[in-house]
Amino acid sequence: MTHRSYAYENGGLPHNERLEFLGDAVLGIVVTEHLYLTFPELPEGRLAKLRAAVVNSHSLADVARDLDLGDEILLGKGEQTTGGADKSSILADSLEAFLGSVLISAGRDAADRLIHHLFDPLVASAAAMGAGLDWKTSLQEFCADQSLGGPSYRITESGPDHDKRFEAVAVIGEETFEPGTGTSKKLAEQGAAENAFTTLSARLTVPQETPA
């Protein structure tokens, strides 16, 4: 959990980038193997897109936030004052370092189990998306299929320049849905699209009452 900024400010201590390199490798092979075995019907190109949707800095950062990993990272003063503990790049790298440390300290089986626990739900979520493998594309396709009209997004932002927060609301026709939030407009819109897609999809599975 030692970021290089902290290491440099404290006499050149060892930092976590070598473990990050190792964690990145084991994460990639575990997710790739899981995709290969779980989706035998999918071609290589689709598998590659699924992997990219799961193993990327935004996904890793979200997993790290769920684990409250930011509270454990040792950061230099500059990174501390600019919100480094919640920066997606730092969180993603630190999560990979954490996975690398599990591999070294507890072995491959333990690392595999942890990665499956953390990332299998993301694989399932990505597999449920449309061909574009993002929620905005999936929502766009759904709205087209159901003749609902194209979705739009209302964006608001808050916070200082170094720590912006964005909130997005999907609007379809006259209806709005639960907002999505994130550290960028893109992430907030993806969250808003996911909420709208989930709500609308659930309606299709609810049996409609027939008139007496």
The CATH number of residue 50's host domain is: 1.10.1520.10
On whether both 117 and 141 belong to a single domain, the answer is: no
Interatomic CA distance for residues 44 and 56, integer angstroms: 18
Are 179 and 169 a contacting pair, CB within 8 Å?
Answer: yes
What pLDDT score was predicted for residue 187? 87
What's the angle, vertex CA 18, arms to CA 49 and CA 105, rounded to 5?
A: 95
On whether both 149 and 88 belong to a single domain, the answer is: no
CATH assignment at residue 190:
3.30.160.20
Residue 65: other Cβ atoms inside 10 A: 15
Domain's final residue, options 132, 160, 195: 132
What pLDDT score was predicted for residue 35? 96
On whether both 108 and 161 belong to a single domain, the answer is: no
Q: Give domain status of residue 212, yes or no.
A: no
On whether both 28 and 114 belong to a single domain, the answer is: yes
Ranges of residues in the chain whose predicted pLDDT is under 50: 210-212
Q: Which residues are annotated as a binding site for Mg(2+)?
A: 20, 93, 96
User: Which member of 62, 79, 96, 134 is catalytic?
Assistant: 96
On whether both 125 and 50 belong to a single domain, the answer is: yes
On whether both 119 and 155 belong to a single domain, the answer is: no
Q: Which residue has the tokens 């808050």?
A: 158
What pLDDT score was predicted for residue 71? 95
When divided into structural domains, the chain yields a total of 2
What pLDDT score was predicted for residue 126? 83
Convert the pLDDT of each residue in 140-190 to its tens digit: 888 888 899 899 999 999 988 877 899 999 999 999 999 999 888 988 998
On whether both 140 and 178 belong to a single domain, the answer is: yes
On whether both 104 and 10 belong to a single domain, the answer is: yes
On whether both 26 and 67 belong to a single domain, the answer is: yes
Q: Give domain status of residue 210, yes or no.
A: no
Q: Which residues are annotated as a binding site?
A: 20, 93, 96
96 is catalytic: yes
Residue 116: other Cβ atoms inside 10 A: 14
Note down the domain range covering 11.
4-132
On whether both 79 and 178 belong to a single domain, the answer is: no
